[in-house]
């Protein structure tokens, strides 16, 4: 503290001390400094394939669930986290062959349903729902792959937020419901007709192999998505199975 009084914040001073020791840091993508403002949805809906470690600045950013306070939203997230902490925010993508939908699951948080098939590299990009930490830094570059967040909500994927999560003898069930109703026109093949998505999975036990070489899980549409409820199952991909657009 005496040598670096000009550095603002404890993290900057800790970095200076580590630099003096000659230690090289390894970036762990489960740490989230969250040096951005606004809606964290884009970052959390396309989380890296690593266990969640930290979330910073939640008192500055918008609540991670709509229609809640920051503290209430965090308590709500803990319902799923306490059931399956290693799977929280882990992104899984599957394709519905009946309606040509692309479904991106951020487990325990939210599901995005595109009304068309989207290539996997595009489905796992982070929607830029947030803004730079420093004011006037609109042209700031991020160290992750961002995607356009369309200004017209009717042209964005339909979002379903986690409503509940429970664990039983046959595995884990999490329920996601649509919480924002935009005034958009749609037909019988649009995902906007859905009101609820149910996801079935088993507890994710992360071992050394998974940490060294993480692999995205696969998911299946369990039945025809013709009603107001869609059911999905998350599972490990088979040895030579690919996640790809039909």
pLDDT at 178 over 70: yes
Q: What percent of the chain has pLDDT over 90?
A: 53
What is the predicted pLDDT for the residue at 91? 96
Q: How far is CA 65 from the centre of its chain?
A: 12
Pairing state between β 130-132 and 146-147: unpaired
How many helical (H) and strand (E) elements, i.e. helices and strands, does the chain have?
5, 12
The answer to whether 199 and 234 are in contact (CB under 8 A) is yes
Helix segments in 84-179, DSSP class H: 120-123
- First CA to last CA across the chain, in angstroms? 58
CA quadruple 60, 66, 69, 72: dihedral sign: negative
- DSSP label of 8: -
Of residues 161 and 2, more confidence is placed in 161
Residue 149 burial class via C-beta count within 10 angstroms: exposed 0-12, middle 13-18, buried 19 and up = middle
Owner of token pair 């989207």: 118
Q: Considering just the CA atoms, what is the radius of gyration of the chain in Å?
A: 19
pLDDT at 180 over 80: no
**Rounded to 5 degrees, what angle do the CA atoms 176, 203, 129 make?**
40
State yes or no: pLDDT of 24 exceeds 90. no
Do 7 and 28 touch, CB atoms closer than 8 A?
Answer: no
Q: Is the pLDDT of residue 223 over 80?
A: no
Which tokens in the block code for residue 89? 């925010």
- Is 139's pLDDT higher than 60? no
Tokens representing 72 are 């209430």
DSSP state of 238: P
Stretch (H or E) spanning 74:
helix 70-83
* pLDDT tens per residue, range 86-104: 999 999 999 999 899 999 9
Mean pLDDT, residues 228-242:
93
What percent of the chain shows pLDDT beyond 70?
95
Residue among 119, 111, 117 nearest 46 (CA): 111
Q: Average pLDDT of the chain?
A: 89
Which pLDDT value is given to residue 161? Answer: 97
pLDDT at 27: 78
pTM of the model: 0.88
Please name the residues in contact with 145: beta carbons below 8 A apart, sequence gap of 6 or more: 125, 126
CB 107 within 8 A of CB 199: yes
With 70 as the cut, is the pLDDT of residue 194 above it?
yes
Q: What count of Cα atoms within 13 Å lies in the side-chain half-sphere of residue 115?
A: 16
């Amino acid at each position: 503290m005496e040598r670096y009084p000009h550095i603002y914040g404890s993290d900057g001073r800790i970095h200076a001390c580590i630099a003096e020791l000659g230690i090289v840091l390894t970036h762990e993508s489960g740490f989230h400094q969250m040096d951005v403002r606004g809606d964290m949805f884009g970052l959390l809906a396309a989380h890296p394939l690593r266990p969640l470690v930290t979330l910073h600045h939640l008192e500055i950013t918008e609540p991670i669930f709509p229609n809640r306070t920051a503290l209430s939203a965090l308590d709500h997230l803990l319902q799923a986290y306490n059931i399956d902490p290693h799977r929280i925010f882990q992104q899984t993508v599957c394709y519905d062959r009946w309606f040509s939908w692309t479904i991106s699951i951020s487990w325990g948080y939210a599901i995005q349903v595109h009304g068309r098939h989207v290539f996997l590299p595009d489905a796992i990009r982070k929607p830029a729902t947030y803004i730079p930490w420093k004011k006037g830094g609109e042209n700031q570059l991020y160290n992750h792959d961002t995607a356009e967040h369309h200004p017209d909500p009717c042209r964005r994927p339909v979002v379903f937020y986690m409503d509940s999560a429970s664990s039983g003898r046959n595995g884990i069930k999490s329920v996601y419901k649509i919480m924002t109703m935009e005034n958009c026109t749609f037909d019988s093949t649009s995902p906007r007709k859905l009101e609820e998505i149910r996801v079935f999975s088993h507890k994710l036990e992360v071992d050394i192999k998974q940490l060294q070489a993480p692999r995205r899980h696969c998911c299946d549409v369990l039945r025809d998505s013709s009603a107001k409820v869609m059911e999905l199952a998350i599972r490990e991909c088979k040895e030579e199975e690919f996640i790809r657009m039909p």
